[in-house]
Amino acid sequence: MNGKDLLLYESGNGGEIIIQNNDLILTDQILQQAYLCLFGGNVEASTRGDELPNEIRKDWWGNSLFYGDVKSKQFNSQTEKALMDNPLTSSGRVSIIRSVESDLKYLKNVSNVEVNAFLLSVNKMKIEIKLSMPTTKTVTIELLWDSVKKEVIIENTI
């Protein structure tokens, strides 16, 4: 995956774009793509494809506007919903890992993807994602999920 993307950081309130000297900062890593795969879309609902014209939709508005019938390009994150719905137990951990892997399928065309999750306490989990591309070194993103605050924390920019 060659190209540039906007450098993001997680503020606990959703991903934020970094602005420096009144300019957007760019990066050539794919970590922000992983973040968008996991937390893009809408936690309330995924796009089904059979929504009625007058129906109040809870899926991400851009899916119908930009991607219409191309389901593979729609933002329908399972991870955020899995984090909200599953207890931080061994079985919840497995369900969360499966959701992360499903959301990251898109990146498997350009990278080897490894996902693991660690229960740190009764209300905290660390999700570790390693992305290895043939032409670059392996990059890792670590997400800390706090189930009490219902927020994800990333300790560095992505």
Q: What is the pLDDT of residue 115?
A: 97
DSSP output for 91-110 = HHHHHHHHHHHHHGGGGGGT
**Residue 106 within any structural domain of the chain:** yes
- Element spanning 61, H or E: helix 61-62
Q: What is the pLDDT of residue 1?
A: 46
**Residue 108 within any structural domain of the chain:** yes
Which two tokens mark 72? 């593979």
**Separation CA 97–CA 38 (nearest Å):** 11
**Residue 69 within any structural domain of the chain:** yes
Residue 107 lies in domain? 5-45+59-154
Phi, psi of 16 (to 5 degrees): -120, 145
Q: What CATH number has the domain bearing residue 121?
A: 3.10.450
Residue 9 reports pLDDT greater than 60: yes
Give the tens place of pLDDT for each residue, 77-126: 889 889 999 999 999 999 999 999 998 988 888 889 999 999 999 999 99
Strand ranges (E), the chain: 5-6, 8-10, 15-17, 19-20, 23-24, 26-27, 112-121, 124-132, 139-146, 151-154
Give the tens place of pLDDT for each residue, 32-63: 778 877 877 666 666 666 677 777 766 666 76
Average of pLDDT values for 138-150?
90
**Separation CA 102–CA 14 (nearest Å):** 21
**Residue 50 within any structural domain of the chain:** no
**Residue 30 within any structural domain of the chain:** yes
**Residue 54 within any structural domain of the chain:** no
Residues in CB range of 64: below 8 A, 6 or more apart: 47, 51, 57
Give the number of domains in the chain. 1
Reported as a pLDDT band with limits 50, 70 and 90, residue 136 is confident
Whether the predicted model's global pTM rises above the 0.85 cut: no
The residue behind tokens 């994800």 is 152
